[in-house]
Amino acid sequence: MARDLIRHIQQLRKDADLEENDRITIGWSAEREAATSIGQMLAEWSETVCTETRADDVKSIDASQASKTVSVGEVSIGLRLV
């Protein structure tokens, strides 16, 4: 799941024309069932996700703030770069 998430975040960085060294904050949202599995994955892999995507933080956001919905593993989540 972490690799899927990293891939989607990198694509969002590319779509936003961010420079390689631009720092970001990753916002994510998911339905209740999916939020549990994403939260567990991030508890274990957030440092790797942040390092690979040059993010300062990964935080939960309201679903209405998500700019793109992606599949991560078996679940769908909303993502937004700040």
Answer whether residue 82 shows pLDDT above 90: no
73: pLDDT confidence band, cut at 50, 70 and 90?
confident
Cβ atoms of 35 and 60 within 8 Å: the answer is yes
> Mean pLDDT of all residues in the chain?
94
Interval 59-67 mean pLDDT: 93
pTM score of the predicted model: 0.91
For 27-44, what is each residue's pLDDT tens digit? 999 998 888 999 999 999
Q: What does the alpha-carbon distance between residue 48 and residue 56 come to, in Å, rounded to a whole number?
A: 11
